[in-house]
């Protein structure tokens, strides 16, 4: 299978938005997908990552990431999403995508690559462990949507 990995470009946004929704459905959380094409364009400076494209130049997977600073270790890269369309899984696409993120993190002198995985997604857990990642099951997600105007009293 001839798959090429390249950085995300603004011309990818429309196809990526469809994949973002596909990923949200896969994660059993479609209601959390509120991103729009307009928001992606307005916030493009923050959208970093890579896409996997087939010989027809169709995006069949993506990975997004951003820089973070962890007090215990320093500059790191956080991998937000890694998604590969079902028909392309098991063909090395996910490995190519994560290897691109690892190479990027190393080039940027990051000390760690961090990400989360759903507890029910055993194939992903097995994939990450096969890469040498530790999956500790210690941390839980905490989300605070700032658009709700929440203020602690």
Contacts of residue 23, defined as CB under 8 A and 6 or more positions apart, other chains included, come to: 81, 83
User: Known catalytic residue: 128?
Assistant: yes
Contacts of residue 42, defined as CB under 8 A and 6 or more positions apart, other chains included, come to: none
Maximum distance among all alpha carbons in the chain? 56
Q: What is the DSSP letter of 104?
A: H
Residue 135 Cα distances to 21, 44, 84, 89, 116, angstroms: 25, 31, 20, 21, 8
Chain position carrying tokens 């857990």: 125
> Rounded distance, CA 48 to CA 148, Å?
26
Catalytic residue of the set 62, 78, 83, 128: 128
Report the catalytic residues.
128
């Amino acid at each position: 299978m001839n798959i090429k990995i390249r950085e995300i470009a603004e011309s990818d946004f429309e196809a990526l938005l469809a994949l973002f929704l596909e990923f949200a459905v896969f994660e059993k959380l479609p209601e959390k997908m509120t991103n729009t094409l307009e928001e992606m364009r307005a916030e493009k400076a923050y959208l970093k990552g890579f896409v996997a494209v087939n010989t027809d130049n169709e995006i069949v997977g993506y990975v997004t990431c951003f820089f973070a600073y962890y007090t215990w270790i320093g500059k790191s890269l956080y991998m937000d999403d890694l998604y590969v369309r079902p028909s392309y899984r098991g063909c090395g696409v996910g490995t190519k995508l994560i290897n691109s993120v690892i190479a990027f993190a190393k080039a940027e002198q990051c000390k760690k690559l961090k990400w989360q995985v759903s507890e029910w997604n055993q194939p992903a857990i097995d994939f990450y462990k096969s890469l040498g990642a530790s999956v500790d099951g210690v941390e839980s997600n905490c989300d605070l949507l700032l658009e709700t105007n929440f203020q602690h009293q």
